[in-house]
Amino acid sequence: MALEVKDIIKPENLVYAKTKLLTERMLHYCPGCTHGVVNKLIAEVIDELNIQEDTIGVTPVGCSVLLYNYIEIDWHEAAHGRAPAVGTGIKRLRPEKYVFTYQGDGDLAAIGTAETIHACNRGENMLMVFINNGIYGMTGGQMAPTTLEGMKASTCPFGRDVEHDGNPLNMTSIVATLPGTCYVTRQAAHTAPAVRKLKKALRKAFENQKDKKGTSFIEVVATCSSGWKMNPVQSNKWMEANMFPIYPLGDIKDV
Amino acid sequence: MAKVRGAIVVDTVTCKGCSLCVESCPTDVIRLAAEVNAKGYNYAYMENPEACIGCANCAMVCPDSCITVYKVKVAEAV
Ligand SMILES: Cc1ncc(C[n+]2csc(CCOP(=O)(O)OP(=O)(O)O)c2C)c(N)n1
Ligand code: SF4
Ligand code: SF4
């Protein structure tokens, strides 16, 4: 006898549901935005490690500025680019807490370059999550330091010209050279296997804090379909073809 | 033939019709509806429910956590 859908949809057969750490608020991100996937994975990892009461997040300026509305933990909002400095202060005052920062590439790799590098160089015992969509999403798709050569953005409508605009900045490779970082990895969130790997990386990074290992740094190569002017599926394909060769996925450092 | 059967429930209110779940499904279960939700998005639904294996790939990639997944083992039909 054929099994009907209503026979399958029963509490005892549940294998995946939205984590209870995510609030009921609807995410403000555009359809298909990588931010939503990463926000969710952070919530799942905090839930699974059972550290909800002991985790403090620091939100950036950028599309993810409202992240504090979405995960039921303590939060602190930082000025543009200053999340690593704010995270440093929190972690030093409350070393027993799990602290993480969450920043886009405009935030972390442009205005906040100094804070990023010095926090990593000091080896602040926290996690830094870096969402690299190669663009300033929130403000209208301007060129970021991470914008690829030839990639179009609203401030380089003919594509980034390295003669004029400089080369794409690879922050993750830079921070991997610093003695303060213990775990540096570049991940993505566009396919189910990529999501599972990213989740493992996030879990490991939170666990590194317990072991007082230093700074864990996770870049997520991401899309911004609104800024890139493609649909979410096309954006993922474009990312695979164009972003991954310049920002290759995998662990760069793990000590 | 199938040893497992799955099913998904999509929150059609919060779905943004991004189609990432459609792309991630290994057995081609999901489509976007012709109708739109209150926000104007063509929400996802199970077009081929018999093909669902409950792998949760769709739920993993959904940025808006709209998908709940169920799975059962079924006796092999001979
Ligand atoms: C001090 C300061 N300078 C500039 C801005 C304007 N601003 C807001 S968001 C943003 C860039 C955001 O881009 P990114 O960090 O890549 O995040 P995304 O929106 O792409 O997620 C800028 C320049 C600001 N809010 N504050
Ligand atoms: S503008 Fe880009 S980064 Fe911002 S929410 Fe939309 S897709 Fe995401
Ligand atoms: S991935 Fe989520 S938001 Fe996107 S179409 Fe599927 S159910 Fe809707």
Q: What ranges make up the beta strands (E) of chain A?
A: 14-16, 55-59, 74-77, 98-104, 127-132, 135-136, 142-143, 181-188, 215-221, 250-254
The DSSP secondary-structure symbol of B16 reads: -
Domain ranges (residues) in chain B: 3-74
- How many Å apart are CA A208 and CA B34, to the nearest integer? 47
Interface contact A5-B7, CB threshold 8 A: yes
Question: Average pLDDT of chain A?
Answer: 97
CB B3 within 8 A of CB B54: no
CATH number of B3-74: 3.30.70.20
Cα angle: A55, vertex A135, A149; to 5 degrees: 130
Q: Mean pLDDT, to the nearest integer, of A145-160?
A: 98
Which residues in chain B have their CB less than 8 angstroms from residue A190's CB? 20, 61
Query: pLDDT tens digit string along A10-42?
Result: 999 999 999 999 999 999 999 999 999 999 999
Residues of B in contact with A236 (CB under 8 A): 20, 23
Is the CB of A195 less than 8 angstroms away from the CB of B60? yes
Over residues A66-124, the pLDDT tens digits come to: 999 999 999 999 999 999 999 999 999 999 999 999 999 999 999 999 999 999 999 99
Q: Which residues of A65-100 are buried (b: 16+ CB within 10 A; e: fewer)?
A: bebbebbebbbbbbebbbbbbbbbebbeeeeebbbb
Tell me the C-alpha distance between B57 and A115, whole Å: 37
Closest partner residue to A15 (CB to CB) among B20, B56, B64 is B56
Mutate to test the pocket of ligand 2, among A225, A229, A239 (most ligand atoms within 8 A of CB): A225
What residues does B42 pair with on adjacent strands? B36
Per-residue pLDDT at A198: 98
Closest CA to A29 of A21, A19, A39: A39
Per-residue pLDDT tens for A154-197? 999 999 999 999 999 999 999 999 999 999 999 999 999 999 99
The answer to whether B49 faces chain A, any CB pair under 8 Å, is yes
User: What type of residue is A154?
Assistant: S
Computed over every residue of chain B, the mean pLDDT equals: 95
CATH topology assigned to domain A28-254? Rossmann fold (3.40.50)
Predicted-complex ipTM score: 0.95
Q: Closest-lying ligand to the alpha carbon of A29?
A: 2
Cβ atoms of B63 and A37 within 8 Å: the answer is yes
Helix A113-122 × helix A83-93 angle, to 10°: 30
Please indicate if any CB of chain B lies within 8 Å of the CB of A24.
no
For A38-53, write each residue's pLDDT tens digit.
999 999 999 999 999 9
Which SS3 state, helix, strand or coil, does residue B31 take? strand
Could you tell me where the beta strands, DSSP code E, fall in A42-110? 55-59, 74-77, 98-104
| pLDDT above 70: residue B78 | no
How many beta carbons lie within 10 A of that of residue A195, not counting itself?
24
**Window A:176-195, CB contacts with B under 8 Å:** 189-192, 195
Q: What is the pLDDT of residue A62?
A: 98
- Using CB atoms within 10 A of its CB, is residue B75 exposed (0-12), middle (13-18) or buried (19+)? exposed
Q: Which of A28, A38, A63 to mutate to test the pocket of ligand 2 (most atoms within 8 A of CB)?
A: A63
Q: In the prediction, which pLDDT does A2 show?
A: 76
Q: Is B21 exposed, middle or buried (0-12, 13-18, 19+ CB in 10 A)?
A: buried
In this structure, the strands spanning A98-104 and A55-59 are parallel
The whole-number pLDDT of residue B1 equals 57
CB A77 within 8 A of CB A103: no
- Extents of the domains making up chain A: 28-254
The structure tokens listed for A37 are: 């996937």
Q: Where are the beta strands (DSSP E) in B1-78?
A: 4-10, 30-36, 42-46, 67-73
Residue identified by tokens 């905090």 is A46
DSSP letter at A156 equals B
State the pLDDT at residue B47: 98
| pLDDT per residue as tens digits for the range A206-242 | 999 999 999 999 999 999 999 999 999 999 999 999 9
Q: Which atom of ligand 2 sits closest to the CA of residue A222? A: 3
User: Which chain A residues have a beta carbon less than 8 Å from that of B19?
Assistant: 32, 231-233
Q: A249, A186 in Cβ contact below 8 A?
A: yes
Q: Looking at residue B77, what is its pLDDT?
A: 58
Contacts of B70 in chain A (CB under 8 A): 8-10, 13-15
- Tell me how far the alpha carbon of residue A138 lies from the centroid of ligand 1, in angstroms: 6
